[in-house]
């Protein structure tokens, strides 16, 4: 058997990659990514009843050839998103985009409506929220796509006398999401679930810029939860930068446009 040198080098490189750190896309593929964003109103398209970081994030894709869609649903929980048929639509889209030759990524961000102490009528415990997130990541993998879990975007609610120390209401959901990402990593194929700690990053940024600057991103006056168009771009940039800093980001880099001015402002804790 004759093996040429180039083939041997390729073989050595790929086994080195496989033996290396866990990666969600190991080795990188040349397929462009398709992003499907699943979540509640803090991901959703800007409308009268909601608006999140989703469309701002998608605005940074090199599309085409990359592709993305915002499937955030106002008021959704990890339960209603499945029961109401949104998840079936997400998995159908995954199959379509895989068939079209994309590498498919699904972001999953819930928590605002799953919270038992804020929304007792939904009757979703923290344990159930965690289990539901794990089950969504399994579904994503069964459909040959890559899960990205995000901890929930912070609310921008400040006590009157405390413009740099907001009232944090989502810490339990943040920790539950982190736990779900860890336990949903696929130990057999060494594929990790990509985790973006959006809650911590958005909380830190909003505390640094302070209450007045933070409210410039409100969908409308008095709405501390949802984002207007510019807020979507700013927090969409934050999500893009968190993603680019992960192992998955090393593969996704070519498909996500940079804006250093905006990224720098976020890093510096300056109003953007
Ligand atoms: C699922 O997709 C169908 C077909 O596009 C649409 O009619 C339906 O409203 C969607 N369901 C949800 C819950 O968004
Ligand atoms: C809340 O959920 C628990 C566990 O699923 C169930 O046993 C209980 O009956 C539910 N309570 C209400 C008020 O729906
Ligand atoms: C922010 O507020 C919380 C709750 O009131 C308090 O426990 C914490 O010490 C404050 N942090 C700072 C940095 O002031
Ligand atoms: C993977 O391993 C981690 C750490 O050992 C464990 O907590 C988790 O439950 C495992 N996940 C699966 C899907 O088996
Ligand atoms: C991992 O592999 C073992 C043995 O092949 C199998 O029993 C187990 O179900 C697999 N776990 C996952 C999470 O795929
Ligand atoms: C980058 O972001 C800045 C705000 O920080 C904005 O003014 C500018 O238009 C953006 N540049 C591009 C090319 O989108």
**Percent over 90 (pLDDT), the chain:** 81
Total of domains in the chain: 1
Residue 26: the pLDDT is 53
Residues framing ligand 5 (Cβ under 6 A)? 186, 188
Residue 26 resides in a domain: no
75 lines ligand 1 (CB under 6 A): no
Contacts of 64 (CB under 8 A, 6+ apart): 32
For residue 8, being part of any structural domain is answered with no
**What residue's CA is closest to ligand 5, atom 11?**
188
Domain CATH for 246? 3.40.50.1110
Residue 5 lies in a domain: no
pLDDT in tens, 148-183: 999 999 999 999 999 999 999 999 999 999 999 999
Q: Is the CB of 89 under 6 A from ligand 1?
A: yes
Atom of ligand 5 nearest to the CA of 186: 13
Average confidence score pLDDT of the chain: 90
Q: Is the distance from the beta carbon of residue 269 to the nearest atom of ligand 1 less than 6 Å?
A: no
Instruction: Tell me, yes or no, whether 120 lies in a domain.
Output: yes
What pLDDT shows up at residue 13?
A: 36
* C-alpha radius of gyration, the chain, whole number: 19
- Which residue's C-alpha comes closest to atom 6 of ligand 4? 183
Is 85 touching ligand 1 by the criterion CB < 6 Å? yes
Q: What is the pLDDT of residue 5?
A: 40
pLDDT for residue 156? 97
CA of 76 to the centre of ligand 1 (A): 14
11 located within any domain: no
Q: Is 17 a residue whose pLDDT tops 70?
A: no
Closest CA to 140 of 128, 132, 151, 152: 132
Ligand 6 touching residue 265 (CB < 6 A): yes
**Choice among 93-107, 113-127, 158-172 with the minimum mean pLDDT:** 113-127
Domain membership flag for residue 239: yes
91 ligand 6 Cβ < 6 A = no
What is the domain range of residue 233?
31-268
pLDDT at site 28: 77
DSSP 237-261: HHHHHHHHTSHHHHHHGGGB---HH
Is 52 inside any structural domain? yes
Per DSSP, helices labelled H in the chain are: 5-19, 54-58, 80-83, 86-99, 126-142, 171-184, 198-209, 211-215, 229-244, 247-252, 260-268
Under 8 Å CB-to-CB from 269, ≥6 apart: which residues?
Answer: 204, 205, 208, 209
Closest alpha carbon to 153 in 96, 221, 91, 107: 107
On whether residue 87 sits in a domain, the answer given is yes
What residues are paired with 218 via a beta bridge? Answer: 227
């Amino acid at each position: 058997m004759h093996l040429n040198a180039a083939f041997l080098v390729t073989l050595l490189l790929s086994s080195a990659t496989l033996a290396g750190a866990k990666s969600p896309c190991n080795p990188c593929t040349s397929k462009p990514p398709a992003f499907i964003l699943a979540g509640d109103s803090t991901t959703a398209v800007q409308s009268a009843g909601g608006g999140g970081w989703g469309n701002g994030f998608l605005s940074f894709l090199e599309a085409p050839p990359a592709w993305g869609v915002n499937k955030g649903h106002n008021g959704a929980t990890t339960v209603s998103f499945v029961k109401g048929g949104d998840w079936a639509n997400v998995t159908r889209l995954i199959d379509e985009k895989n068939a079209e030759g994309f590498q498919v990524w699904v972001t999953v961000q819930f928590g605002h409506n799953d919270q038992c102490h804020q929304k007792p009528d939904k009757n979703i415990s923290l344990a159930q929220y965690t289990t539901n997130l794990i089950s969504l990541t399994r579904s994503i993998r069964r459909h040959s796509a890559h899960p990205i879990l995000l901890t929930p975007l912070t609310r921008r609610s400040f006590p009157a006398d405390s413009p740099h120390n907001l009232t944090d209401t989502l810490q339990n959901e943040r920790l539950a999401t982190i736990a779900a990402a860890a336990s949903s990593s696929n130990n057999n194929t060494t594929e990790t679930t990509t985790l973006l700690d959006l809650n911590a990053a958005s909380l830190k940024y909003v505390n640094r810029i302070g209450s007045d600057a933070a409210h410039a991103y409100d969908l409308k006056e008095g709405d501390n939860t949802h984002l207007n168009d510019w807020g979507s771009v700013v927090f969409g940039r934050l999500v893009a930068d968190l993603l680019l800093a992960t192992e998955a980001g090393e593969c996704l880099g070519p498909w996500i446009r940079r804006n250093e001015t905006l990224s720098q402002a976020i890093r510096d804790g300056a109003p953007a």
